[in-house]
Amino acid sequence: MREAYRNGYELKNYCRGILEGLYAILVLKSGGAESTVRQSVSEEELHVYREVSREREMEEFELFFQVFHHGYEALSKSPVPRIWLETLVMKCATAETLVPLAPVPPPTNSSGRNTVQSPTHSGPAASETRSGPTSSSGSAPPPPARGSLLFGSAGASRFNPSAAVASVAATDEQW
């Protein structure tokens, strides 16, 4: 990424290429028509996207897409776009893999009864306990994502978004 910046490559275009690659992966992961992706990428890029799409869950690619999408406009307004884009990359590179958590049981007393009181009741009913999950969905939200998003030295003359997106599943040894 730094090499691309030093060679005068427009970082907003670099970010857009990453977004397009992540979009292609999301289409492939969702079982969408491969022909949709094939219209905008080469056969080589399509192969890379297929491989990368197997490395992570769809939700993780959605999170990466959101990070870059929200940063895309801010990138053009930033007085230091290189630092802004590197921060986006580091945010994704240091994100943990999504792992579903089991529901967290409510606190209990020594008799094993739930000690959470209902906020809508008062008087004797307020001292009664309620049971069951504390959230309407019955499960806790997933933890943040951790993975790595490493970008090779893409030349300024031709940015290859598939190479950048392919590194989503790479190790974070360079960081």
The band of 146, judged by pLDDT with boundaries at 50, 70 and 90, is: very low
In a domain, 118, yes or no: yes
In a domain, 43, yes or no: yes
In a domain, 175, yes or no: no
In a domain, 160, yes or no: yes
127 pLDDT higher than 60: no
Domain check: are 49 and 74 in the same one?
yes
Mean pLDDT to the nearest integer, 103-124: 61
The band of 21, judged by pLDDT with boundaries at 50, 70 and 90, is: very high
Task: Quote the CA–CA distance of 24 and 60 in Å, as a whole number.
Answer: 14
Domain span at residue 114 reads 101-141
39 pLDDT higher than 70: yes
pTM (2 decimals)? 0.55
Residue whose C-alpha is closest to residue 36's, from 48, 25, 27, 45:
27
Domain check: are 109 and 50 in the same one?
no
Domain check: are 48 and 21 in the same one?
yes
Which has more confidence, 133 or 89?
A: 89
In a domain, 174, yes or no: no
In a domain, 16, yes or no: yes
Domain check: are 106 and 46 in the same one?
no
Residue whose C-alpha is closest to residue 118's, from 130, 106, 107, 108:
130
Task: Quote the CA–CA distance of 136 and 16 in Å, as a whole number.
Answer: 37
Total domain count, the chain = 2
In a domain, 11, yes or no: yes
